[in-house]
Amino acid sequence: MWEVSKKENLDRKLIEVCRHFRIPGEYQFCEEIKVGNVNKTYKVTFEGEDPKNPGNMRLKSYIVQSVNTFAFKNPVQVMDNIDKVTEYIHAKDPGRCALHYHHTADRKTYIFDKSGFWRLFNFIPSVTYSATENLQVIRNAGLAFGNFQMLLSDFDASQLHETIPDFHNTIKRYEQMEEQIAIDPVDRVKEVRAEIDWLESVKEQACKLTQLQLDGVLPLRVTHNDTKINNVLFDKDTDEALVVIDLDTVMPGLVGHDFGDAVRFAANFVEEDSLETEKAGVNMEIFRAFAEGFLSKTAKSLTQPELDTLALSCLALTCELATRFLADYIAGDVYFKTNYDEHNLVRARCQIALAKDMLKKMPQMESVIQDCVKKL
Ligand code: GN1
Ligand code: MG
């Protein structure tokens, strides 16, 4: 019997999704964008008449995403947050390049059916960077995330749902890892004793940021919470930041969550899942460039305790993600997408190696931050 290949199934599904979002024209092709670790992302291209040039055809692309409903238990709330935040930003700065989520005939920004939770938004021609030593790009990423935070500084946080509860609660993240260690569902704990022991040995320091939040020393703001630099789209000619994407985790949070996560990702000498753990560490030039960009937008509105804990936040976010990767490895790889069996373990080891270097460089990171603030 003739069988429909997986690729044909995917094409068919993507066409169906696009039609629900009332995309006109003839379907051409799709490609998977393998950047995120949680959702699935596709660039889908159609051919249709060019509205600016009647009688002529043109290609137009869209981004279709299938949201991971294991990670986001209430994806409708995710879209509600995104609608509010994108509208708010657009109203403040209408001329700016923006994400635009399309609506279905019944005015929803999503389709939720047996095959999953789907959404569609505009494709913005641009470049992204997962790893770069171009300091101008890094500074611009800092400006973009700093600006994002400032644009939302007077947004009423009580309007936002907590899309993943305790997302950056490092204390809870340690507890979740410890729960998995106790269950040990796929008998992997014996392989990762050294990693567990090291993470436990720095637990107090890693959890200090969360503790200061609980103690009311650090204020809650509206934060992005997933500030990898590949969540910034850059102009391909000028390298200026065009727009911050991936708004799934915009929630109340600490400024250090955005600063720390960005540094953890961008300033590491190697990529997040590198096997070359001996090379992992903080590139201080990149750290400085990001801090300059970020602080030039935010420093004036930050409190002294916030400024004083920015370097600590880098360690906190790195250890936190290490516990998440390790917990997922122990759990049998249920949360993050993995490309091979030990992927989560490799990721955890790389974050641990980075965290070790951060501990050594803490005084240096602190003095760079003070320096950036002084120069403003
Ligand atoms: C996930 O899917 P992506 O790449 O946007 C994760 C982040 C992690 C990141 C690590 C919702 O983000 O918290 O820092 O992987 N997002 C979620 O690469 O869990
Ligand atoms: Mg994300």
SS3 annotation, 290-305:
HHHHHHHHHHHHCCHH
Predicted pLDDT at 1: 35
Q: How far apart are CA 57 and CA 162, in angstroms?
A: 44
Question: Quick one: pLDDT band at residue 8, thresholds 50, 70, 90?
Answer: confident
How remote is the CA of residue 114 from the centroid of ligand 2, in Å?
23
Total Cβ atoms within 10 A of residue 91: 8
Please write the tens of the pLDDT for every residue from 127-153: 999 999 999 999 999 999 999 999 999
Provide, rounded to the nearest whole percent, the portion of the chain with pLDDT above 70.
99
In angstroms, what is the span from residue 66 Cα to ligand 2's centroid? 13
Using CA atoms, how far residue 139 sits from 34, 283, 302, 375, in Å, is: 25, 14, 19, 15
Give the residue from 189, 165, 205, 191 showing the smallest Cα distance to 319. Answer: 205
Nearest to 181 by CA among 160, 197, 157: 197
Each residue's pLDDT tens digit, 101-123:
999 999 999 999 999 999 999 99
Confidence band for 5, pLDDT divided at 50, 70 and 90: low
pLDDT of residue 2: 42
**What share of the chain in percent tops pLDDT 90?**
95
CB-count burial class (<10 Å; 0-12, 13-18, 19+) for 30: buried
pTM of the complete model: 0.96
Q: What is the pLDDT of residue 295?
A: 98
Q: Is the CB of 78 under 6 A from ligand 1?
A: no
* Beta-sheet pairing, 221-223 with 232-234: unpaired
Give the model's pLDDT for residue 3: 46
Give the pLDDT mean for 180-204: 98
| Ligand 1: residue whose CA is nearest its atom 15 | 37
Q: Which of 41, 78, 170, 228 best tests ligand 1's pocket when mutated (most atoms within 8 Å of CB)?
A: 228
Distance (Å, rounded) from C-alpha 204 to C-alpha 341? 31
Answer yes or no: is the C-beta of 147 below 6 A from any ligand 1 atom: no
15 has a pLDDT exceeding 50 = yes
Distance 64 CA to ligand 2 centre (A): 15
Q: Tell me the backbone φ, ψ of residue 227, rounded to 5 degrees.
A: -95, 45
Any atom of ligand 1 within 6 Å of the Cβ of 37:
yes
Beta bridge partner(s), residue 121: 63, 101
Ligand 1: which atom is nearest the Cα of residue 321? Answer: 14
Task: Report the mean per-residue pLDDT for the chain.
Answer: 96
Reply yes or no on whether the pLDDT at 209 is more than 90: yes
User: pLDDT tens across 59-74, in order?
Assistant: 999 999 999 999 999 9
Q: Which ligand is nearest to the CA of 36?
A: 1
| Residue 279 pLDDT exceeds 90 | yes
Give the environment of ion ligand 2: residues with CB less than 5 A: 226, 246
Q: What mean pLDDT comes out for the span 211-228?
A: 97
Q: Supply the residue whose CA is at minimum distance from atom 7 of ligand 1.
A: 226
pLDDT at residue 57 tops 90: yes
Token look-up 């300033």 returns 267
Task: Count CB-CB contacts under 10 A for residue 143.
Answer: 21
